[in-house]
């Protein structure tokens, strides 16, 4: 078919200013928008030739990228979404600089040189940026493409047009050739990559599961939760839940765990939370209340430093806190650590003594308390116009931290969100969190006695003052193991005496716990059979 007539007719509407010479440069033609109308039209023509030659869709992007608004530009995109091949950059320059009356000759020259079959179909994708000149200039490109089946994408980023050209020519293999397709491809991949935003929650078949379900809609994209033991079939706290996981030191049933993936367990009324994961060797790792307290304390301390505020921060624990956690908090973090009797009311009370009091029982019940004064200082700082951005950012972060925390009592849901936020902000994996310090192996046992009130304790329950001889027996047993510690106390919630032991190895901790149990049984009126050695 003869290309002459339609081209001549249309090109008259996009005349070239005589003598104007432009080069196809680094990224196509680029200059003041007023000089580009004929260039656009001609690039439309050239794109159809390139499309016929390659038997593929070609892209034309109208933009001058980072240049000032009054500039514009145009570049061609080859079939796989790459920049047009250099030979064709040469044709582009020739076509752009042919005077009006020489245009047909210049065009025929390209057709001949490239032996282009003009009966071949052509397909051109045109895109433009937001410059005021882009609308009319992209129309000029379309005029050049004219009746040849061009597709105008309208406003797109440069890379989006490259992407869509490639999608079209790979028949969808690279993705869907639409802006929607571009978003959905990137987003899906992003979600996979940031799977760290995924958390498996063991709801202990309790109320926490129901409430997590309710809250899920609020979290949707920010945190993907897989809820297990949601109460639809299993029994409350049976082989699952925070207490089971903490005491048994093993995963709950009913939770699908993949190596390295974060999991957490609530207890039956959702005021406790513990985290855990299995590593690539299948080894179970528990991150209990002590590890949670350490993570939160570290985070808060860093923010206080960044905000440049001097507030007294303290951590409150019980005798059940792992010895490694206490050492880490005191020695490495230089945080004041208090030890109170078991029971949240005691910890809460002690935490009120600080500007910021972080309290957690090892079993995962805990929260953070901020004094009124501390809250005010943080709020003023967050609103202070005279401080630098780093300090302000930290102050605002502290403010949001205060708001995500339930200061009235330990709260599995609130603690979970705070922990997830800290891990995300610090870009920390659960493995990295776990490796802040290593727990001393430990064991908790229960001993049945006729009347557990015969045991009296002192020193935040770390020493038994009655019955006579019990503490001496514990002391001499503890001496036999490295890094060992043990104590006993009557439970406040069950009719048992609780025994706790920790030592350098699990074997030692188990052995020590067993021997202390025997001492309790013998000296404090044990009932039923003698405590058995753990297998
Ligand atoms: C070793 C242990 O976990 N003890 C628990 C348990 O108290 P006992 O007094 O140990 O039975 O239940 C309390 C209430 O939930 C909790 O605050 C406490 O931490
Ligand atoms: Mg509870």
pLDDT digits (tens, 9 = 90+) for 301-321: 999 999 999 999 999 999 999
Give me the pLDDT at residue 8, please. Answer: 80
* Whether the CB of 348 sits within 6 Å of ligand 1: no
Task: Find the 341 Cα to ligand 1 centroid distance in Å.
Answer: 10
The number of the ligand 1 atom at minimal distance from the alpha carbon of 344 is: 17
Beta carbon of 361 within 6 Å of any ligand 1 atom = yes
**Is pLDDT above 80 for 148?**
no
Say if residue 388's pLDDT is above 70.
yes
Kindly give the distance from the C-alpha atom of residue 522 to the centroid of ligand 1, in angstroms, as a whole number: 24
Which stretches within 26-157 are classed as H helix?
A: 37-54, 86-97, 103-113, 134-145
Residue 45 in tokens: 């023509």
Q: What is the pLDDT of residues 193-205, one digit of tens each?
A: 665 678 999 999 9
pLDDT band at 192 (very low <50, low <70, confident <90, very high): low
- Asked if pLDDT for residue 147 goes beyond 60, the answer is no
Give the mean pLDDT of 24-46: 94
Indicate if ligand 1 lies below 6 Å from the C-beta of 492: yes
Give the confidence band of 404 by pLDDT, cuts at 50, 70, 90: very high
User: Ligand 1 within 6 A of 496 CB?
Assistant: no
Site to substitute for ligand 1 among 266, 491, 502, most atoms within 8 A of C-beta:
491
How is residue 78 written in tokens?
């080859």
Strand partners, 127: 61, 154
Q: Indicate the average pLDDT of the chain.
A: 93
pLDDT at 3 (0 to 100): 65
Percent of the chain scoring above 90 in pLDDT: 87
Vertex 406 angle, CA 403 and 411, to 5°: 140
Please tell me the predicted confidence (pLDDT) of residue 380.
Answer: 95
| pLDDT level of residue 242 (50, 70, 90 thresholds) | very high
Pocket test for ligand 1, best of 241, 342, 367, 486 (most atoms within 8 A of CB): 342
pTM across the whole model: 0.70
Start-to-end CA distance of the chain, whole Å, equals: 91
Q: Is the pLDDT of residue 18 over 80?
A: yes
65 is catalytic: yes
Residue-by-residue DSSP string for 385-415 = TTS-HHHHHHHHHHHHHHHHS-TTS--HHHH
Q: How much is the average pLDDT of 496-505?
A: 98
- Separation of CA 495 and ligand 1 centre (Å): 12
Burial environment of residue 455 by CB neighbours within 10 A (0 to 12, 13 to 18, 19 or more): buried
| Beta-carbon count within 10 A of 147 CB | 9
Residue nearest to atom 12 of ligand 1 (CA): 493
Distance between CA 50 and CA 58 in Å, rounded? 7
DSSP for 310-358 reads ---EEEEEETTS-HHHHHIIIIIS--EEEEE-SSHHHHHHHHTTSSEEE
Ligand 1 pocket test target in 248, 363, 452, 455 with most atoms within 8 Å of CB: 363
Q: CA 353, CA 370: separation in Å to the nearest integer?
A: 10
Q: Which two tokens stand for residue 220?
A: 């949707």
Which residue CA neighbors atom 15 of ligand 1 most closely?
343
Residue 440 alpha carbon to ligand 1 centre in Å: 20
Instruction: Over range 247-258, report the average pLDDT.
Output: 95
Is the minimum distance from the CB of 494 to ligand 1 under 6 angstroms? Answer: yes
- Is the Cβ atom of 363 under 6 angstroms away from ligand 1? yes
Going by alpha carbons, the residue nearest to atom 14 of ligand 1 is 343
The tens digit of pLDDT for each residue in 431-442 reads 999 999 999 999
- Considering the candidates 65, 146, 371, 466, report the single residue annotated as catalytic: 65
In this prediction the ipTM stands at: 0.98
Residue 526 phi/psi, 5-degree rounding, is -60, 150
Q: CA 170 to CA 168: how far, in whole Å?
A: 6
Tell me, what's the pLDDT at 285? 98
How far apart CA 435 and CA 433 sit, in angstroms, is 5
Q: How confident is the model at residue 534 (pLDDT cuts 50, 70, 90)?
A: confident
d(CA 35, CA 347): 76
**Is the Cβ atom of 498 under 6 angstroms away from ligand 1?**
yes
**Ligand 1 pocket, 343 CB below 6 A?**
yes
Backbone angles phi, psi at 356, to 5 degrees: -130, 115
Q: How confident is the model at residue 186 (pLDDT cuts 50, 70, 90)?
A: confident
Class of residue 62 by CB neighbours under 10 A (exposed 0-12, middle 13-18, buried 19+): buried
Q: What is the pLDDT of residues 52-104, one digit of tens each?
A: 999 999 999 999 999 999 999 999 999 999 999 999 999 999 999 999 999 99
| Annotation: binding site for Mg(2+) | 65, 267, 269, 271
Please report which confidence band the pLDDT of residue 1 belongs to, taking 50, 70 and 90 as the band edges: low
* pLDDT value at residue 281: 95
* 253 alpha carbon – ligand 1 mean position (Å): 23
Task: Report CA dihedral (380, 384, 386, 392) to the nearest 10 degrees.
Answer: 100
Using only C-alpha atoms, the chain has a radius of gyration, in whole angstroms, of 36
The arithmetic mean of pLDDT across residues 282-308, rounded, is: 97
Q: Token pair for residue 114?
A: 């490239």
Q: Please state the rounded mean pLDDT for residues 250-255.
A: 97
Do β-strands 224-228 and 150-155 pair in parallel, antiparallel, or remain unpaired?
Answer: unpaired
């Amino acid at each position: 078919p003869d290309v002459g007539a339609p081209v001549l007719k249309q090109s008259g509407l996009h005349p070239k200013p005589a003598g104007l010479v432009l080069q196809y440069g680094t990224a196509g033609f680029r200059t003041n928008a007023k000089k580009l109308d004929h260039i656009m039209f001609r690039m439309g023509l050239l794109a159809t030739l390139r499309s016929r030659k390659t038997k593929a869709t070609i892209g034309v992007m109208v933009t001058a990228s980072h240049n000032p608004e009054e500039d514009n530009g145009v570049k061609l995109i080859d079939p796989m979404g790459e920049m047009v091949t250099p030979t064709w950059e040469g044709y582009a320059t020739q076509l752009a600089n042919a005077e009006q009356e020489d245009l047909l000759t210049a065009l025929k020259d390209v057709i001949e040189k490239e032996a282009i079959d003009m009966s071949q179909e052509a397909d051109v994708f045109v895109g433009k940026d937001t410059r005021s000149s882009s609308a009319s200039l992209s129309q000029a490109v379309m005029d050049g493409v004219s009746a040849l089946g061009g597709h105008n994408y309208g406003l797109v980023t440069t890379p989006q047009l490259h992407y869509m050209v490639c999608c079209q020519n790979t028949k969808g293999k690279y993705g869907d050739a639409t802006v929607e397709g571009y978003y959905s491809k990137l987003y899906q991949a992003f979600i996979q990559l940031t799977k760290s935003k995924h958390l498996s929650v063991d709801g202990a078949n309790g109320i926490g599961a129901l409430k997590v379900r309710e809250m899920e809609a609020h979290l949707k994209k920010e945190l993907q939760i897989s809820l297990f033991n949601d109460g639809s079939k299993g029994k409350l706290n049976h082989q699952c839940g925070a207490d089971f996981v903490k005491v048994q030191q093993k995963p709950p049933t009913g939770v699908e765990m993949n190596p390295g993936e974060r999991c957490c367990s609530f207890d039956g009324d959702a005021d406790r939370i513990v985290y855990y994961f299995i590593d690539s060797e299948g080894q179970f790792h528990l991150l209990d209340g002590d590890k949670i307290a350490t993570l939160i304390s570290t985070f808060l301390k860093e923010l206080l430093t960044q905000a440049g505020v001097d507030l007294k921060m303290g951590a409150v624990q019980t005798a059940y806190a792992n010895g490694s956690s206490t050492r880490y908090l005191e020695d490495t973090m230089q945080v004041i650590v208090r030890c109170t009797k078991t029971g949240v009311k005691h910890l809460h009370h002690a935490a009120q003594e600080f500007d910021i009091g972080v309290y957690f029982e090892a079993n995962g019940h805990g929260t953070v308390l901020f004094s009124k004064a501390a809250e005010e200082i943080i709020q003023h700082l967050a609103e202070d116009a005279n401080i630098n951005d780093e300090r302000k950012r930290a102050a605002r972060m502290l403010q949001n931290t205060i708001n995500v925390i339930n200061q009235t009592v330990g709260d599995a849901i609130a603690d979970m969100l705070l922990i997830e936020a800290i891990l995300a902000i610090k870009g920390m994996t659960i493995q990295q969190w776990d490796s802040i310090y290593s727990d001393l192996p430990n064991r908790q046992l229960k001993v049945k006695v006729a009347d557990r009130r015969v045991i009296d304790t002192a020193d935040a329950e770390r020493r038994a003052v009655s019955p006579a001889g019990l503490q001496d027996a514990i002391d001499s047993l503890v001496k036999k193991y490295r890094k060992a510690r043990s104590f006993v106390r009557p439970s406040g919630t069950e009719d048992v005496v609780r025994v706790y032991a920790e030592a350098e190895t699990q074997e030692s901790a188990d052995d020590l716990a067993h021997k202390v149990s025997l001492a309790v049984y013998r000296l404090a009126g044990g009932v039923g059979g003698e405590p058995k050695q753990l297998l």
